[in-house]
């Protein structure tokens, strides 16, 4: 087996194993409060939250296998793109967490702070390790600017139209911005753009099929899919675009 295939396989297995922990993590989340905690539950999300609680999400027996399968695909893509780059550990973690967050948001219209907040510390620690291994301080500078650019963009959109974007999306955008910025500017640009593109198309489809309303549909899964596209193909897309 070639070194590249080995890395892809290891990344797929590790991401699948982490994603398979999703049901255990979800079952331990405190149920969201529906009263004054506007940062945790937006007014547009209350109806969806009343219908489905976190503990209801883990009742399906096949869920662990499903999350692991999606995680394996995401991890294989990350391994194929990043190879043995020390950054791959960061994106194995982000891919696994992303699978879990996408599932929760798709079902509840919520992105749990209890998952996103500690992920900032884990991602920063992994990036510091990668920068130390590669002796690349620019990696940290790119990550910080990625956080400012993507997180700042979503924060601005939330301020302008808070009903159209949950604050959980803002929290998630900063985390993804850090990871995408560390990979490169092409990945960051593609991740942001593709996330909005998929969100527009997917949101319209949900509204047309009456599976969501204009005021409440899960945007997190599209952000996460856009970020995965950004890290896997972003630099190639940027090179193709600039070379035209």
Helix (H) or strand (E) segment spanning residue 198: helix 185-208
Question: Angle CA(23)–CA(6)–CA(91) in degrees, nearest 5?
Answer: 45
Cα–Cα distance for residue pair 216/172, rounded to 1 Å: 17
Q: Per the structure, how many domains does the chain have?
A: 1
User: Cβ atoms within 10 A of the Cβ of 50, count?
Assistant: 9
How confident is the model over 175-203, as pLDDT tens digits? 999 999 999 999 999 999 999 999 888 76
How confident is the model over 94-128, as pLDDT tens digits? 999 999 999 999 999 899 999 999 999 999 999 99
With 90 as the cut, is the pLDDT of residue 55 above it?
no
Cα–Cα distance for residue pair 173/156, rounded to 1 Å: 12
Q: Report the share of the chain in percent with pLDDT over 90.
A: 69
How confident is the model over 129-174, as pLDDT tens digits? 999 999 999 999 999 999 999 999 999 999 998 877 889 999 999 9
Global pTM reads 0.88
Owning domain of residue 156? 3-242
Burial state string for 102-139 with b = 16 or more CB within 10 A and e = fewer than 16: bbbbebbbbbbbebbeebeeebbebbeebbeeeeeeeb
């Amino acid at each position: 087996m070639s070194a590249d295939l080995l890395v892809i396989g290891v990344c797929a297995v590790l991401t699948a194993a982490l994603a398979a922990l999703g049901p255990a993590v979800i079952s331990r989340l405190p149920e969201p409060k529906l009263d004054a905690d506007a940062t945790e539950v937006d007014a547009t999300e209350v109806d969806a939250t009343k219908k489905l609680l976190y503990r209801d999400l883990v009742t399906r027996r096949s869920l662990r296998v499903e999350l692991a399968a999606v995680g394996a695909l995401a991890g294989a893509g990350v391994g194929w793109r990043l190879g043995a780059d020390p950054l791959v550990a960061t994106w194995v973690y982000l891919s696994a967490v992303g699978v879990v967050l996408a599932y929760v948001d798709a079902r509840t219209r919520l992105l749990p702070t209890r998952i996103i907040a500690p992920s900032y510390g884990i991602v920063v620690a992994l990036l510091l390790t990668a920068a130390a291994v590669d002796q690349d301080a620019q990696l940290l500078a790119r990550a910080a600017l990625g956080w400012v650019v993507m997180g700042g963009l979503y924060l601005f959109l939330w301020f302008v139209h808070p009903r159209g974007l949950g604050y959980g999306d803002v929290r998630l955008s900063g985390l993804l911005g850090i990871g995408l910025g560390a990979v490169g500017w092409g990945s960051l640009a593609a991740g942001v753009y593709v996330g909005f593109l998929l969100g527009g198309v997917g949101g319209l489809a949900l509204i047309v099929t009456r599976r969501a309303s204009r005021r409440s549909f899960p945007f997190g899964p599209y952000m996460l899919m856009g970020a995965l596209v950004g890290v896997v193909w972003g630099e190639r897309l940027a090179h193709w675009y600039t070379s035209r």
